[in-house]
Amino acid sequence: MCGIIGFCGYLDAKDVLLKGLAELEYRGYDSAGIACFTKDGIKTIRAVGKVANLANRLPAELESGCGIGHTRWATHGGVSEQNAHPHSCGKVTLIHNGIIENYHELAKELEETGRLPVSQTDTEIAAMLIDSFYEGDALSAIKKAVSRLEGAYAFCILFSDQKDAIYCIRKGSPLVACQSEEGCVVASDMVALLRYSKEYFVLPEFQVAKLTKHSITVTDLDGEPVAPVMLGIHWDMSAAQKNGFKHYMLKEIHEQPEALRRTIAPRMKKGEFLLPDFTEDGIPDKLFLDAKRIVIAACGTAMHAGLIGKILMERLLRLPVSVEIASEFRYADPILDEHSLVILVSQSGETADTLAALRLAKEKGAKTLSVVNVKGSSIARESDYVLYTHAGPEIAVASTKAYTAQLAAFYLLVLRFAYSMGKLSEQEVSSYMEELAAVGGHMEQVLEQKDTIKELSKRLTPSHDLFFIGRSLDYALAAEGSIKLKEISYIHSEAYAAGELKHGTLSLITGGVPVIALATQEDVFPKMISNVKEVRARGAMVVLITKEDNNAAIEQGICSEHLIIPAGNDMFAPFSAAVYLQLIAYYTSMYRGLDVDQPRNLAKSVTVE
Ligand code: AGP
């Protein structure tokens, strides 16, 4: 949450900061602000709302080569200009991503020194605290302040008497930095660095980076130099742009077949038969052979990918698997030991609850494997093993290509380990791998149905409530369809196990209520069709999704709309069915005139609890 950027160099700082903030805006968009060194000292400008509002406020004559910028997702204090970052106190001006948990106690202490906040934010208290320790030595003030701060933070700090220098420190919240001929840049994530460099580093926790026009120095809190570990950037600028699509979400939906290829291809080694290979990822067979229990912990869409993973693993590995919401898991005192394998799933690799779940799992002696999209992110760095999804940058808040890439990662893991555990033969694993390689093509076929979905979505636009139903893998997918729809269309929706409807929810099904029924799983198909008839009998407007090979079994009048995915093994149906659900959410939001890419109250990367 919150996007932060700092620049020191030979370009116009306000341009660099505005571009960076636009690229980081998906992390929060309640307000935005910048502070720059000018010939008249530090100038701060802030605005409520999106970065575009801030851009309209910036005076053209603002000349600077060094400054910091922030786009906010409100935690402490409402959405107002007063609460927008940067915040200043005395000689200190800073921006912050995170939450200072003991700010109330610190505020009381600082009040005694005559420092009174003007905002309701925890961030201003951090600025006051650093200023209270500052006597000309930035490092010493930061060190003293950090010893008092509890919670998570990434700070970029300006000291008014240290012109054209930015100091940065972090704990929990991310910060990455790079240097180029044009200057030095620090940001919350690598997307904002793409235009400047092909190399960057992650600032280690509790170490201080000092950016000047021509260098970045990193030291520990005692001033001892530290050499940061450089990482390569494999994404290019175009990967983070809309490339002719109206929204990032639509672009990312279309990118899925290619994203899947990037997840699957590096692990698809052709030998005598097709078998996923994780040699380059460094994931040994032993990891699964030793496991007696698997726990998948994640949040939101990533957790929904885990629901599919659980079904696959239990089915093919015959190991007990549970899927845990990371924010619950971390406080639940879970039963884990050295025979437990905990799989963390996260697009950003920075989700605070998932990171905490990982740390807890390690503390309890479990082995950890993360399925992550963003290279070098905290979850990736701290896990014992990482499987990168390589889906490319995902900018829309609603996750699409990251989700299907996470699914692909689960299929690869399950197929490899089912083989190494002796549960699948060479022939079986090969044939499943062929099916997996074909799902990109199936998704393309669904993408061709865009116009049908547009029309359907127009009809869904006035709905107040909508239900997704399914069984088995379809139920797991229904959960994803529901979150997608509600997060961007603001229509209330629920995902229900179809067999559970009659235990309460059926009372909500009345004339015209839309029900999206997923019936792609052969073993439960007749049961599912009975459930569809039950809602139809109550007047629901049913959108039925089935496989091509089930066409004959669909009776006339059973649904208002019948959407078909290509024929194939049921186990792989979630990929193409997911595209229908994503398109429905996308077009419904669009026809409602909403901000598809940046839905209200949400942010892409949830780095606070
Ligand atoms: C998905 O559409 C959501 N925006 C959200 O649920 C997201 O998947 C969740 O916050 C987890 O994020 P992560 O994958 O970066 O950990």
107-129 per-position pLDDT tens digit:
999 998 888 999 999 999 999 99
* Token pair 């209330």: residue: 492
Rg of the chain (C-alpha set): 25
Q: How far is the CA of 239 from the centre of ligand 1 (A)?
A: 19
Mean pLDDT of the chain: 95
Give dist(CA 513, CA 531) in Å, integer.
Answer: 15
- What residues flank ligand 1, with Cβ below 6 Å? 299-302, 346-348, 351, 354, 397-399, 487, 605-606
Residue ranges of alpha helices (H) inside 490-564 are: 525-537
Q: Which of 26, 29, 301, 374 to mutate to test the pocket of ligand 1 (most atoms within 8 A of CB)?
A: 301
Atom 8 (ligand 1) nearest CA = 301
Question: For residue 594, what pLDDT is reported?
Answer: 97
In whole angstroms, what is the distance from residue 70 CA to residue 55 CA?
12
At a CB cut-off of 8 Å and minimum separation 6, what does 196 contact? 178, 180, 182, 183, 185
Residue-wise pLDDT for 317-368, tens only, equals 999 999 999 999 999 999 999 999 999 999 999 999 999 999 999 999 999 9
pLDDT at 26: 86
Task: Specify the pLDDT at position 271.
Answer: 75
Atom of ligand 1 nearest to the CA of 398: 2
Sign of torsion over alpha carbons 557, 559, 562, 565? negative
Q: Tokens at residue 496, please?
A: 């229900």
> Residue 237 C-alpha to ligand 1 middle, in angstroms?
23
> Whose C-alpha lies nearest to ligand 1, atom 9?
300
Q: Which atom of ligand 1 is nearest to the CA of 399?
A: 2
- pLDDT at residue number 553: 66
Low-confidence residues in the chain, pLDDT < 50: none
Task: Determine the Cα–Cα distance for residues 47 and 58; give it in Å rounded to an integer.
Answer: 10
| Nearest protein CA to atom 16 of ligand 1, as residue | 346
In this structure, what are the phi and psi dihedrals at residue 275, rounded to the nearest 5 degrees? -145, 130
Q: Residue 431: what pLDDT?
A: 95
Crossing angle for the helix pair 138-146 and 122-133, to the nearest 10 degrees: 130
CA-to-CA distance for 470 and 515, rounded, in angstroms? Answer: 10
Q: How many CB atoms are located within 10 Å of the residue 437 CB?
A: 15
CB neighbours (10 Å) of residue 271? 9
Distance 126 CA to ligand 1 centre (A): 28
Written as six digits, the tokens of 174 are 């991310």
- Among 2, 36, 168, 178, the one annotated catalytic: 2
Distance (angstroms) between ligand 1 centre and the Cα of 345 equals 10
C-alpha dihedral (97, 219, 88, 170), degrees to nearest 10: 10
Residue 559 bears catalytic tag: no
Q: What are phi and psi of 229, to 5 degrees?
A: -85, 120
> Whose structure tokens read 């926790």?
205
CA 285 to chain centre: 28
Kindly state the tokens that stand for 29: 């968009």
The CB density around residue 84, as the number of other CB atoms within 10 Å, is 28
- Torsion, Cα 322 323 324 325, to 10 degrees, reads -170
d(CA 27, CA 606): 8
Q: Are 344 and 354 in contact (CB under 8 A)?
A: yes
Whole-number Å distance, alpha carbon 63 to ligand 1 midpoint, is 38
Kindly tell me the burial class for residue 244, based on how many C-beta atoms sit within 10 Å of its own C-beta (0-12, 13-18, 19 or more). Answer: exposed
Instruction: Establish whether 604 is a catalytic residue.
Output: yes
Closest residue to atom 4 of ligand 1, CA basis: 398
Write out the H or E segment, with its range, that includes residue 308.
helix 300-317
Instruction: Determine which one of 50, 310, 367, 604 is catalytic.
Output: 604
Any residues with CB less than 8 A from the CB of 275 and at least 6 apart, and which?
A: 269, 415, 416, 419, 426, 429, 430, 433
Distance 74 CA to ligand 1 centre (A): 18
In ligand 1, the atom with minimum distance to the C-alpha of 347 is 14
Contact indicator for 498, 469 with CB cutoff of 8 Å: yes
Locate 353 and state its tokens. 């609850």
Structure confidence at residue 273 (pLDDT): 82
Q: Rounded distance, CA 370 to CA 296, Å? A: 9
